Amino acid sequence: MTVLEVRDLYKGFGGVQAVAGISFGVAEGELLAMIGPNGAGKSTCFNMLNGQLRPDGGSVHLNGRDITGLPPRDVSRLGVGRTFQITATFGSMTVAENVQTTLIAHHRGLRGLWRPAAALHRDAAMALLERVGMAEQADRACGVLAYGDLKRVELAVALANDPMLLLMDEPTAGMAPGERVELMALTAEITRERNIAVLFTEHDMDVVFTHADRVIVLNRGKLIAEGTPEDVRANRRVRELYLGESAEAG
């Protein structure tokens, strides 16, 4: 079943058409990688999916529901988890509190004025942290964690609102090669067991070809190829783009 359905998305900045008519879908339990050179329109496209940017044209549907142009907080409430290229967590809270805050938000409990938040959803938060391998560091401040660990926390936070879709912008950027494989393997495992649809952008081709079920390739705001990692690897236009190979002159 298709979770995310993107139809004919457009976005321009001044004279530049950053995204010029892109359509694709992501199915349940599927890991879809979005790749392309710098400036291909990946980030712009991504930011339109979760509402940070409003598209000029086209539509975004989540489980058949039109979410085009909704602000990020509404998109989140409809079941979309998000991780960022540069991790965004709450530095003045512990690892567990980061997840707890998300859980409280998910259960619409943020208006509570009296009962201490520290006791709320603690077990659920610990279970999530256990799943991403961060349970031991649950009571450390987020501000002092190693970057790789921060990425794990972000994954736990993104999972906390029980999403049907996970949007991950360069999930392994800034990590050591060993950590990258580990984190993506973990992500793949979790998304399969929860049957979540995942869309991620990535520069590391090893990560893409190892973990993605399907790949879409963007260039200059347009979709130029789509298919299994093998198909895409063999695609002439993709090879031209990445390797500068020109199969035909002109």
Site residues, other proteins (CB under 8 A): 50, 52, 71-74, 76-77, 81-82, 84, 88-94, 97, 100-102, 104-106, 109-118, 120, 141, 143, 157-158, 160-161
Q: How far is the CB of 3 from other proteins (least distance, A)?
A: 18
| Residue 92 identity (one-letter amino acid) | S
Nearer to other proteins, 37 or 91 (CB): 91
Q: How far is the CB of 231 from other proteins (least distance, A)?
A: 32
The owner of tokens 């009962």 is 115
Nearer to other proteins, 120 or 135 (CB): 120
Round to whole Å and give the CA distance between 241 and 222. 13
Q: How far is the CB of 190 from other proteins (least distance, A)?
A: 18
| Residue 203 identity (one-letter amino acid) | H
Round to whole Å and give the CA distance between 33 and 22. 15
Q: How far is the CB of 102 from other proteins (least distance, A)?
A: 5
Nearer to other proteins, 150 or 223 (CB): 150
Burial per residue of 130-166, b for 16 or more beta-carbon CB atoms within 10 angstroms, e otherwise: ebbebbebbeeebeebeebbbbbbbbbbbbbbebbbb
Q: How far is the CB of 170 from other proteins (least distance, A)?
A: 14
Nearer to other proteins, 96 or 218 (CB): 96
Nearer to other proteins, 190 or 232 (CB): 190
Eight-class DSSP state of 133: T
* E-strand stretches of 84-207: 165-169, 197-201
Q: How far is the CB of 150 from other proteins (least distance, A)?
A: 11
31-35 β-sheet, strand order:
80-83, 165-169, 197-201, 31-35, 214-219, 222-227
Nearer to other proteins, 100 or 219 (CB): 100
